[in-house]
């Protein structure tokens, strides 16, 4: 079984917000380190674990510039077979364009299913998986934390994390599946595997070659820092004083 796994390099979640904003606005800043989106690493890990049920070709797909190659490499080194890279040619692509580019790869590769992260931790959008599924006319299962295939691998039973508990769906393949935190704990890429990953086959496209509308549907107009909270934290010394303060604030 062939599986496509999407990987987005994102800013390290510990980046100070002002530095992140500056980088988003194209200002040179040395402060922003990138990592592979954590939810995507869960997707890679899942693909590797599915070797038991017949997954033998794991292809990483990333739409990113060469400067983020190290982050993609770290995902390949976890145990993927190969990768497809799409160069955005310096453009900030929005979700619909990313999904359209992924659709192009899916049509070329015809995988048994696509595994993705449930959201990118920079944009916090959680959009690309559902858009892609809709574009392909495929079933979707988002926020998945359990997967169990049927005997002939034509369907997968998934547990989805929802506001109302775990929802179990029985989904026909091919499908788009997005991964939630509890699905697994991603392994680290070992140094030997990192070195080996440099030999993994790599196919490259340019976004402009794919025939996707160049005009974004959504553009970023600006950034702001959220208003801080009230300010100083009022420190109390013991439970008695705490109860007193809560009563004074009419909270209990």
Ligand X SMILES: Nc1ncnc2c1ncn2[C@@H]1O[C@H](COP(=O)(O)O)[C@@H](O)[C@H]1O
Ligand Y SMILES: Cc1cc2nc3c(=O)[nH]c(=O)nc-3n(C[C@H](O)[C@H](O)[C@H](O)COP(=O)(O)OP(=O)(O)OC[C@H]3O[C@@H](n4cnc5c(N)ncnc54)[C@H](O)[C@@H]3O)c2cc1C
Q: What is the residue whose two structure tokens read 């060469």?
A: 66
Contact region with ligand X (CB under 6 A), list: 65-73, 122-130, 142-150, 203-211? 122-130
Kindly indicate which of the ranges 5-13, 21-29, 136-144, 230-238 contains the residues binding ligand X, using the contact rule CB under 6 A.
5-13
The reply on whether position 145 binds ligand Y by CB under 6 A is no
**With binding defined as CB under 6 A, does residue 38 bind ligand Y?**
yes
Binders of other proteins in range 173-232 (CB under 8 A)? 180-182, 215-226, 229-230
Distance in Å, CB of 50 to other proteins, minimum: 20
Please tell me the distance from the alpha carbon of residue 177 to that of residue 59, in angstroms, as a whole number.
15
Q: Which positions from 52 through 81 interact with ligand X, judged by CB under 6 A?
A: 61-64
Return the number of other C-beta atoms located less than 10 Å from residue 227's C-beta. 6
Residue 91 vs residues 33, 155, 208: alpha-carbon distances, Å: 20, 38, 10
Task: Using the Cα atoms of residue 39, residue 126, residue 94 and residue 34 in order, give the sign of their dihedral.
Answer: negative
Map the footprint of ligand Y across residues 99-128, applying CB under 6 A.
121
Residues touching ligand Y, count (CB under 6 A) = 2
The entry of ligand X, ligand Y, other proteins, none near residue 66 (CB within 5 to 8 angstroms by kind) is: none
Residues 6+ apart with CB under 8 A from 144: 118, 158, 159, 160, 161, 177, 178, 179, 180, 183
Site string for other proteins, 67-96 (x = CB under 8 A): ---------------------------xxx
Interaction partner, residue 117 (ligand X, other proteins, ligand Y, none; CB < 5-8 Å by kind): ligand X
Q: Confirm or reject binding of residue 120 to ligand X (CB under 6 A).
A: yes
- Where b means 16+ CB within 10 Å and e means fewer, 180-213 reads beebbebeebeeebbeebeebebeebebeeeebe
* Min dist. Cβ of residue 198 to ligand Y (A): 27
Q: How many CA atoms lie within 13 A of 52 on its CB side?
A: 8
Crossing angle for the helix pair 95-109 and 128-136, nearest 10 degrees? 50
Q: How far is the CB of 116 from other proteins (least distance, A)?
A: 12
User: In this complex, which beta carbon is closest to ligand Y, that of residue 97 or of residue 142?
Assistant: 142
Q: Which residues bind ligand X (CB under 6 A)?
A: 6-8, 37, 39-40, 61-64, 95, 98, 116-117, 119-120, 123, 125-129
Q: Which residues bind ligand Y (CB under 6 A)?
A: 38, 121
């Amino acid at each position: 079984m062939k599986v496509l796994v999407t990987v987005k390099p994102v800013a390290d979640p510990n980046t100070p917000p002002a530095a992140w904003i500056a980088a988003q606005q194209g200002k040179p800043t040395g402060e922003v380190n990138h990592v592979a989106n954590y939810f995507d690493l869960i997707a890679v890990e899942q693909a590797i674990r599915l070797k038991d049920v017949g997954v033998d070709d794991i292809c990483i797909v990333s739409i990113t510039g060469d400067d983020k190659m190290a982050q993609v490499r770290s995902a390949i080194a976890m145990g993927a077979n190969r990768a497809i890279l799409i160069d955005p040619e310096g453009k900030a692509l929005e979700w619909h364009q990313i999904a359209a580019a992924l659709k192009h790869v899916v049509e070329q590769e015809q995988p048994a299913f696509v595994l993705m992260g449930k959201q990118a931790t920079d944009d916090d959008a959680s959009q690309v998986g559902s858009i892609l599924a809709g574009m392909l006319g495929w079933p979707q299962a988002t926020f998945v934390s359990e997967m169990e295939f049927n005997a002939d691998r034509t369907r997968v039973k998934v547990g989805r994390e929802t506001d109302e508990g775990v929802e179990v769906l029985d989904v026909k393949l091919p499908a788009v599946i997005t991964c939630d935190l509890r699905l697994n704990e991603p392994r680290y890429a070992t140094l030997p595997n990192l070195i080996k990953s440099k030999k993994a086959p790599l196919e490259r496209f340019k976004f402009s070659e794919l025939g996707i509308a160049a005009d974004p549907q959504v553009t970023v107009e600006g950034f702001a820092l959220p208003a801080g909270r009230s300010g100083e934290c009022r420190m109390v010394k013991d439970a008695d004083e705490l109860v007193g303060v809560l009563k004074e604030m009419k909270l209990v």
